[in-house]
Structure 1
Amino acid sequence: MRNYLKFIIYLTVVLGIFPARAGSYEDFFTAIKRDDAATVQSLLQRGFDPDARSPDGQSGLYLALREPSLKVARVLVDWPRLNVESRNQSDESPLMMAALKGHTDLVRRLIARDAHVNKPGWAPLHYAATHGHLEVMALLLEHHAFIDAESPNGTTPLMMAAMYGTPEAVKLLLDAGADVNMKNQLGMSAWDFAMKANRRDSAELISQHVRTKRPAGRW
Structure 2
Amino acid sequence: MAKRSRRPAHHESHLAMVARSVRIISMGLSAVLAVIVLGCDHQQQAKPPCLLCDRIEERSSDHAQHQPLIVHQDELTECNRGRWSGAHPINVAIVFQDTEAVRSLIRAGVPVDKVYDSGELPICEAVELWGRVEPHGMESGIKDIVSILIESGADVDRRDGLQFYAPLHYAVECGHFASVKLLIEHGASLDLDYPNGTTILGRAESLGNSQVIELIRRHSTADDTRSESSEADSPVGNLSNEQNSRIAPIATN
Q: Shorter chain as normaliser: what TM range?
A: 0.5 to 0.7
* Aligned sequence identity (%): 25
Cross-structure match for 1:115: 154
Q: Which residue matches 1:82?
A: 110
The one-letter amino acid paired with 2:152 is R
8 Å CA contact retained: 2:190, 2:200: yes
In 2, Cα distance between equivalents of 1:118 and 1:82:
19
Q: Take 2:119 and 2:53, find their aligned partners in 1: how far apart are those partners?
A: 25
8 Å Cα contact 2:50/2:82 also seen in 1: no
Q: Deviation digits for residues 129-185 of structure 1, max 9, x if unmatched?
A: 12233232222112221112122212333344334472211111111117xxxxxxx
> Contact 1:95–1:107 at 8 Å: present in 2 too?
yes
Question: Structure 1 length as normaliser, TM-score?
Answer: 0.58
Deviations 1:3-41 (A, max 9, x none): xxxxxxxxxxxxxxx9xx757356335336647548982
CA contact (8 A) 1:118 1:124 kept: yes
Q: Aligned Cα RMSD in Å? A: 3.2
Partner of 2:194: 151
Gaps of 5+ in 2: 1-44, 131-141, 222-253
Secondary structure of residue in 1 paired with 2:69: helix
> Structure 1's 76 and 160: CA in aligned 2 closer, same or farther, altered over 3 A?
farther
Q: Is there any run of 5+ residues in structure 1 with no aligned partner, and where? A: 1-17, 179-219
Letter in 2 for 1:129: V
- The equivalences for 1:60-71 within 5 A come to 60-71=89-100
AA at the equivalent of 2:57: T
Distance in 1 between the 2:170 and 2:183 partners? Answer: 11
Amino acid at match of 1:135: A
Q: Distance in 2 between matches of 1:55 and 1:176?
A: 42
Corresponding residue SS for 1:41? coil
2:112–2:149 CA contact under 8 A, matched in 1: yes
- C-alpha separation between the residues in 1 aligned to 2:218 and 2:118? 31
8 Å contact kept, 2:156–2:187: yes
Aligned ranges for residues 188-207 of structure 1 at < 5 Å? Answer: none
* Counterpart-to-counterpart distance in 1, 2:68 and 2:194: 35
- Rg comparison, structure with higher value: 2
Per mean C-alpha deviation after superposition, the further-off stretch among 68-77 and 113-122 is 68-77
1:74 shift after superposition: 3.9
Q: Are positions 1:125 and 2:153 aligned together?
A: no
List per-residue Cα deviations over 1:175-215 (Å, max 9, x = no partner). Answer: 1117xxxxxxxxxxxxxxxxxxxxxxxxxxxxxxxxxxxxx
Q: What CA distance in whole angstroms lies between the structure 1 residues aligned with 2:58 and 2:201?
A: 37
TM-score normalised by length of structure 2: 0.51
Instruction: Please tell me the residue identity of whatever aligns with 2:197.
Output: G
C-alpha contact 2:127 2:170 (8 A) present in aligned 1: yes
For residues 114 and 54 of structure 2, the distance between their equivalents in structure 1, rounded to whole angstroms, comes to 21
Task: Give how far 1:108 is off.
Answer: 1.8
Q: How does 1:32-111 map to 2 (within 5 A)?
A: 34=61, 36-37=64-65, 41-42=69-70, 44-45=71-72, 47-49=74-76, 51=80, 53-77=82-106, 79-89=107-117, 91-102=119-130, 103-111=142-150
CA separation in 1, counterparts of 2:89 and 2:211?
A: 32
How far the C-alpha of 1:56 sits from its partner, in A, is 0.9
CA contact (8 A) 1:65 1:97 kept: yes
Contact in 1 for aligned 2:68/2:100 (Cα 8 Å): no
Q: How many residues align?
A: 157
Distance in 1 (alpha carbons) for counterparts of 2:192 and 2:151: 21
How much has 1:82 moved relative to structure 2?
0.9
